[in-house]
């Protein structure tokens, strides 16, 4: 299995909703990443987990809360988002940090 999967593909939520994005890989990778990508811009790194521990938090607002319950799963919990948080959220994984990353298809999030 050489795939990174993300669910859901699309998500529409209100500013008061609580939702979660999920990312899964079964390649035995020990580093996992969350990126945010606005239209026609490159991805922006949000969080890095290395061996299930938060390694990098790029000053992301607390309304985004990552969680890594085990080495295959990465969640991003969303609460009280703003319309400007609407974007494509990409998950990636690599064997360890700083090696080649494999990307999921992304979740397209719209905040109303």
Smallest distance from the beta carbon of 2 to another protein, in angstroms?
11
Smallest distance from the beta carbon of 82 to another protein, in angstroms?
21
84 and 19 in contact (C-beta within 8 Å)? no
Smallest distance from the beta carbon of 16 to another protein, in angstroms?
27
Which CB sits closer to another protein, 66 or 106? Answer: 106
Collapsing DSSP to helix, strand or coil, 29 comes out as coil
86 and 79 in contact (C-beta within 8 Å)? no
| Residues linked to residue 54 through DSSP beta bridges, in sequence order | 49
Which CB sits closer to another protein, 15 or 56? Answer: 56
In the complex, which residues of this chain contact another protein (CB under 8 A)? Answer: 37, 41-45, 56, 88, 90, 92, 98-106, 108
Q: Give the whole-angstrom CA distance, residue 22 versus residue 60.
A: 18
Which CB sits closer to another protein, 15 or 99? Answer: 99
Name the DSSP letter for residue 95. S
67 and 77 in contact (C-beta within 8 Å)? yes
Which CB sits closer to another protein, 44 or 67? Answer: 44
């Amino acid at each position: 299995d050489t795939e990174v999967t993300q669910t859901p593909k699309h998500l529409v939520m209100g500013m008061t909703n609580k939702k979660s994005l999920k990312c899964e890989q079964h390649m035995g990778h020990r580093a996992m990443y969350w990126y945010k990508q606005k239209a026609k811009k490159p991805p922006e790194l949000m969080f890095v987990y290395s061996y299930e521990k938060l390694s990098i938090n790029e000053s992301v607002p607390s309304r985004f809360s990552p969680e890594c319950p085990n080495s295959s799963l990465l969640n991003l919990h969303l609460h009280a988002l703003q319309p400007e948080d609407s974007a494509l959220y990409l998950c990636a994984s690599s064997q360890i940090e700083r090696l080649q990353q494999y990307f999921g298809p992304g979740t397209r999030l719209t905040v109303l």
